[in-house]
């Protein structure tokens, strides 16, 4: 079994996260808005942008809209990456919806927090980094039946995240 596809109770990572991930209020165009990271986070995000691969899991990188050094996308339907995103309330100590037991998955050596989206896709947040990175997988890549391997996408992007954004908290 590949190290990015840890099994939990007999379910694959993607299958398990679809069962346990909570609904997110961030969907559609709002999820693709260009983030506004702090100056320190922006420096890490620019380094990540320069290190991102031209293809992930067979999906070619394309121009992101809106164009920014804090966003990137691959394929159609698009896997969308945003760097320097804020923390969701479920991971913010003291917030009403804070969950101290929120699940995070180790894929490619990065702790990815999954959130089920209303449209059937899954948003993953690379946590415990000096800048948080969000990768949104459309529903076509999350069920395990398609040609694109969702955990493979995260594993490919994890290498660039680990190389350019040090561990830490913001």
- Mean pLDDT (10-residue bins), the chain, 170 residues: 34 38 42 86 97 94 90 95 84 68 83 90 91 93 72 92 88
At a CB cut-off of 8 Å and minimum separation 6, what does 163 contact?
51
Peptide bond before residue 66 is cis, with ω within 30 degrees of 0: yes
Residue 122 backbone phi and psi in degrees, to 5: -130, 130
The predicted model scores a pTM of: 0.78
Would you state the pLDDT for residue 4? 33
For 63, the token pair is: 């121009």
Asked whether residue 6 is assigned to any structural domain, the reply reads: no
What's the pLDDT at 10? 34
Dist. CA 79–CA 73, nearest whole Å: 5
Q: Are 73 and 62 in contact (CB under 8 A)?
A: yes
What pLDDT does residue 144 have? 61
Residue 135 falls inside a structural domain: yes
Specify the pLDDT at position 103.
75
- Please indicate, yes or no, if residue 4 is contained in any of the structural domains: no
**Does residue 28 lie within any of the structural domains?**
yes
pLDDT for 59: 93
Number of domains in the chain: 1
Q: Which domain holds residue 92?
A: 13-164
């Amino acid at each position: 079994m590949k190290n990015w596809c840890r099994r939990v109770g007999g379910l694959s990572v993607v299958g398990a996260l679809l069962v346990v991930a909570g609904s997110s209020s961030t969907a559609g165009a709002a999820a693709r808005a260009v983030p506004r990271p702090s100056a320190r986070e922006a420096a890490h995000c620019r380094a990540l942008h320069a290190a991102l691969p031209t293809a992930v899991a067979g999906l070619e990188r394309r121009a992101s809209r809106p164009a920014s050094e804090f966003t990137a996308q691959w394929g159609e339907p698009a896997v969308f990456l945003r760097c320097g995103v804020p923390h969701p309330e479920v991971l913010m100590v003291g917030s009403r919806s804070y969950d101290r037991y929120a699940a995070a998955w180790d894929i490619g050596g990065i702790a990815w927090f999954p959130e089920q989206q209303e449209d059937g896709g899954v948003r993953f947040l690379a946590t415990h980094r000096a800048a948080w990175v969000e990768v949104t997988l459309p529903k076509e890549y999350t069920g395990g039946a398609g040609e694109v391997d969702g955990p493979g996408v995260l594993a490919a992007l994890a290498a660039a995240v680990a190389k350019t954004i040090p561990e830490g908290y913001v």
